[in-house]
Amino acid sequence: MPPRKLHKGLLSGRRPPESTTTTSAAVVRRTGVARVRSRPLTCYQASPPFAMEENMQLRRALSVVLPSLFGVIALSTTAAAAAEVGPSPAQEAVGCHYEHTGTDFGFGFTAVLKVTNTGSDPANDWWVEFDLPPGVVIETTHSARFSPARTGHIQANAPAWLPNLAPGASANVGFNGSKPVGTSLVVSNVTLNDVPCTS
């Protein structure tokens, strides 16, 4: 066996330098001696297999339940909207007939719109709506409370002394105004409490 070589430090009475590793470490040299500064290692824990399986089962269950839930909500919304369409029971029990009379002065007119409740129930807090030809302007009114609009689409509300129209009762809505010469004095689209009227 060949003779073992001794470190020069042992011959001189000094300790030999400790062995160092550079794996995941930063080497700092001070006075010719290498020191090791350890770096912390971060560990990541993987999800256990049973947790991943539970997540997959939850996703499959939601993919089946959510479309059915959205379908039920859509049907409920559609049914609610359909229930709101159409006249209310009070409106169904109200009928309407109107007569329009007036005097044409060429550039002006005077008119009366007589509205009769032909239904079986009273028309409470009644209002009448109708349309005038283009160019016809209402200047004065009587027997009803008119909306601010004085041309085109008109609304006349019940006066304080006649708030309701009993079955068979009538109300006269009067108005005077101006119009272009040659324009016919007619009314159209007459309604009583949103119920169309016949002439």
Q: pLDDT tens digits, residue range 107-118? A: 999 999 999 999
Q: For the chain, where are the alpha helices, taking DSSP H only?
A: 8-12, 49-84, 89-92
Cα gap 162→170, rounded to integer Å: 10
- Is 24 in contact with 37 (CB distance < 8 Å)? no
Residue 128 neighbours by CB under 8 Å, 6+ apart? 113, 115, 144, 155, 156, 171, 173, 190, 191, 192
Answer whether residue 188 shows pLDDT above 90: yes
3-state secondary structure of 177: strand
User: What's the pLDDT at 59?
Assistant: 72
User: What's the pLDDT at 39?
Assistant: 55
79 vs 119 pLDDT, higher one: 119
- Is 95 in contact with 75 (CB distance < 8 Å)? no
Show the domains of the chain with their CATH numbers: 93-196 (2.60.40.290)
Q: Which residues pair with 80 in a beta bridge?
A: none
As a whole number, mean pLDDT of residues 60-78 equals: 59
Q: Which residues pair with 175 in a beta bridge?
A: 111, 141
User: What's the pLDDT at 27?
Assistant: 41
Per-residue DSSP letter, 63: H
Model pTM above 0.85: no
User: What's the pLDDT at 93?
Assistant: 78
As a whole number, mean pLDDT of residues 59-79 equals: 60
User: What's the pLDDT at 177?
Assistant: 97
